[in-house]
């Protein structure tokens, strides 16, 4: 099966940005898996590594230097850990670690954020919902990532003549921003159960009215084979915890997608289980700019203790294999190895259950490599 090649030609360039908190720990496990794929499957990448977030601020006074931005522009894919921490809470807005991530998303044009929430059989009891509600759950949240209130102008904090202060953010979407992300949603649905639920608040927001109209128009014109329904975001939050299996693909804006994907993550047992892919428009060579990151944050409370769950980060790597390098078989191999390790009873602290074996970040990574070895031998 596995060919042993000594010097495989790299499939492309990958920039590793481990970031802050548990980012470096979970990225360490990606490196372990990358080594395995290079040695055992001849699937290798040219890699570079750099700073982002608080660690970049500490060294350079900015959460993302222009040099690192240029490296990200040049790479075929970026693997991102996590950013943020209490030490940086009081920094001015532009210097906060999160701005590094937002700049990457914006300048790379990563408008489509895929957040698949899939429940491993072994983890049905880790979810805060009843097992029958989440067993077999497989939904895709598609979040618009470069528009909406995250980037809308005007924004800021101003002082009014009467001395009060006023904070302003703007929710804004254009037709093309809505249509391009909705297209990705319909295309994804065609590879799945052909159902899209578009989520906004058209009952109170004009941008939501536009969102709803444009998504419906696109469906009628180009995707009549896909079933489309519309849902208000508050109702969607409720439905996600009431009957999550009713959904196939959820398409929504930047802010609602942020909230709903955290909610969906818990259905899978832990935030430590949710990967994501952020994709741009295809370039002249057909390739999309792409960044892969776990949905969990930097978890400063457990950073440096070897307790973090590396699975969301490893599944993000698996999404990179699939979406950036067309290595679906390798991605399946990794996903299945993760599933078997969970079935075997190993758990990091966040998904720990009675009768299971609690293990560290690196023990989890080593166990996944052992399963890969078994599958490939």
CB 314 within 8 A of CB 81: no
CA distances to 83, 93, 95, 158, 302 from 89, rounded to whole Å, are: 12, 9, 10, 20, 18
**Which one of the spans 70-78, 256-264, 266-274, 343-351 is the region binding Mg ion (CB under 5 A)?**
256-264
- C-beta atoms surrounding 245 within 10 Å: 15
Question: Which partner from the list Mg ion, ligand IPM, none does 101 bind, CB cut-off 5 to 8 Å by kind?
Answer: ligand IPM
Residue 121 annotated as catalytic:
no
Residue with Cβ nearer ligand IPM (21 or 185): 21
| Run of H or E including 280 | strand 275-282
Choose among ligand IPM, Mg ion, none what residue 16 binds, the Cβ cut-off being 5 to 8 Å by kind. none
Alpha-carbon distances of 353 from 137, 219, 302, rounded to whole Å: 20, 44, 19
Q: Report the residue number whose CB is nearest to ligand IPM.
A: 98
- Beta carbon of residue 98, minimum distance to ligand IPM (angstroms, whole number): 4
Footprint of ligand IPM on this chain (CB under 6 A)?
98, 101-102, 258, 295, 297
Q: Give the whole-angstrom CA distance, residue 299 versus residue 23.
A: 9
- Does residue 335 have an active-site annotation? no
Question: How many CB atoms lie under 10 A from the CB of residue 225?
Answer: 10
Does 350 qualify as catalytic in the annotation?
no
Closest to ligand IPM by CB, 172 or 356: 172
Partner whose footprint covers residue 75, from Mg ion, ligand IPM, none (CB < 5 to 8 Å by kind): none
Catalytic residue selected from 20, 258, 335, 350? 258
List 234, 301, 326, 373, catalytic entry: 234
> Could you say whether residue 144 binds Mg ion (CB under 5 A)?
no
Shortest Å, Cβ 191 to ligand IPM: 24
Stretch that binds Mg ion, among 9-17, 43-51, 192-200, 257-265 (CB under 5 A): 257-265
Q: How far apart are CA 142 and CA 112, in angstroms?
A: 7
Task: Name which of 98 and 366 has its Cβ closer to ligand IPM.
Answer: 98
From the CB of 258, what's the least distance to Mg ion, in Å?
4
Cα 233 from Cα 370, distance rounded (Å): 42
Q: Which does 193 bind (CB under 5 to 8 A by kind): ligand IPM, Mg ion, none?
A: none
**277 alpha carbon, distance to own chain's centre:** 5
Task: Give the three-class secondary structure for 134.
Answer: helix
Is 58 labeled as catalytic in the residue annotation? no
- Is residue 258 within the footprint of Mg ion (CB under 5 A)? yes
Rounded to the nearest whole angstrom, what is the least distance from the CB of residue 295 to Mg ion in the complex? 6
Q: Which does 98 bind (CB under 5 to 8 A by kind): Mg ion, ligand IPM, none?
A: ligand IPM
- From 50, 125, 193, 262, active-site residue: 262
The one catalytic residue among 20, 96, 118, 150? 150
Question: Is there binding between residue 25 and Mg ion (CB under 5 A)?
Answer: no
**SS3 helix, strand, coil % of the chain, rounded to 5?**
45, 20, 35
Nearer to ligand IPM, 102 or 241 (CB): 102
254-267 helix and 233-242 helix, angle to the nearest 10 degrees: 10
What sections of the chain are H helices per DSSP?
Answer: 23-36, 54-60, 66-74, 97-107, 131-134, 175-190, 206-222, 233-242, 254-267, 311-323, 328-343, 361-376
**Known catalytic residue at 201:** yes
Name the token pair of 21: 């908190």
Q: Which helix (H) or strand (E) holds 78?
A: strand 77-82
Two structure tokens written together for 195: 């159902």
**What's the closest the beta carbon of residue 83 comes to ligand IPM, in angstroms?**
6
Residue pair 89/24 in contact (Cβ under 8 Å)? The answer is no
Catalytic site residues?
A: 150, 201, 234, 258, 262
């Amino acid at each position: 099966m596995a060919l042993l090649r000594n010097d495989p030609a790299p499939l492309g360039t990958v920039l590793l940005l481990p970031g802050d908190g548990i980012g470096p720990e979970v990225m360490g496990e990606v490196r372990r898996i990358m080594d395995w794929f290079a040695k055992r499957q001849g699937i290798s990448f040219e890699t570079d590594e750099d700073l982002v977030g608080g660690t970049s601020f500490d060294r350079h006074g900015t959460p993302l230097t222009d040099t690192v931005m240029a490296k990200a522009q040049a790479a075929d894919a970026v693997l991102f850990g996590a950013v943020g921490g209490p030490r940086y809470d009081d920094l001015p807005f532009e210097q906060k670690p999160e701005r590094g991530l937002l700049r990457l998303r914006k300048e790379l044009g990563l408008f489509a954020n895929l957040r698949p929430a899939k429940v491993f059989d072994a983890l049905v009891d880790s979810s805060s919902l009843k097992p029958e509600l989440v067993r077999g759950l497989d939904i895709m949240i598609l979040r618009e990532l470069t528009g909406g209130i995250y980037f809308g102008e005007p924004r800021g904090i101003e002082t009014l003549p009467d001395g009060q202060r006023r904070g302003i953010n703007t929710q804004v979407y254009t037709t093309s921003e809505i249509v391009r992300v909705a297209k990705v949603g319909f295309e994804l649905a065609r590879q799945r159960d052909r159902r899209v639920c578009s989520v906004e608040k058209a009952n109170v927001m004009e941008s939501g009215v536009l969102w709803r109209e444009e998504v419906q128009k696109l469906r009628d014109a180009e995707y009549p084979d896909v079933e489309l329904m519309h849902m208000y975001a508050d109702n969607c939050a409720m439905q996600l915890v009431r009957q999550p299996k009713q959904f196939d693909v959820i398409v929504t804006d930047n802010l609602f997608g942020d909230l709903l994907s955290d909610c969906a993550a818990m259905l899978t047992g832990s935030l430590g289980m949710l990967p994501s892919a952020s994709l741009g428009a295809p370039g002249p060579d057909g390739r999309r700019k792409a960044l892969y990151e776990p949905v969990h944050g930097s978890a400063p409370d457990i950073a440096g203790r070897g307790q973090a769950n590396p699975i969301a980060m490893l599944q993000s790597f698996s999404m990179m294999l699939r979406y950036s390098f067309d290595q679906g078989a390798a991605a399946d191999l990794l996903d299945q190895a993760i599933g078997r390790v969970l079935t075997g009873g190993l758990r990091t602290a966040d998904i720990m259950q009675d009768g299971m074996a609690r293990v560290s970040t690196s023990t989890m990574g080593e166990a996944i490599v052992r399963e890969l070895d078994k599958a490939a031998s």
